[in-house]
Amino acid sequence: MLKRVRKSVTGVAKALWCHRVVYAGAALAYGGLCVGIVDKELANQVLTGCYIALVVQRP
């Protein structure tokens, strides 16, 4: 019973952590785009990389 709870909590924690990284990457790309540090193509590449990392991390 305790192993199942631990496994479930670990799975939820990994999913939340990965979502945080994706949202941080999206905010970074959007902020860089607004300030003019990055162009639209680079911002799209950063977002694509973040979403790929999200999909790969899922069990």
Q: Is position 39 within any domain?
A: yes
Range of the domain at 57: 18-59
Is residue 13 domain-resident?
A: no
Predicted pLDDT of residue 53? 79
Domain annotation covers residue 10? no
Domain-embedded: residue 11: no
Do the beta carbons of residue 10 and residue 3 sit within 8 Å?
no
Question: What span, in angstroms and rounded, lies between the C-alpha atoms of 22 and 50?
Answer: 5
pLDDT at residue number 41: 92
Query: What confidence tens digit (pLDDT) does each residue in 5-44 have?
Result: 887 777 777 777 777 778 888 888 889 989 999 899 998 9
For residue 4, being part of any structural domain is answered with no
Number of domains in the chain: 1
Q: Is pLDDT at 49 greater than 80 in this prediction?
A: yes
> Model's pTM, two decimal places?
0.63
For residue 37, give the DSSP letter.
S
Cβ–Cβ < 8 Å for 49, 26: no
What is the distance between the alpha carbons of residues 2 and 55, in angstroms, rounded to a whole number? 28
Please answer whether residues 43 and 33 qualify as being in contact, where contact means their C-beta atoms are separated by less than 8 angstroms. yes
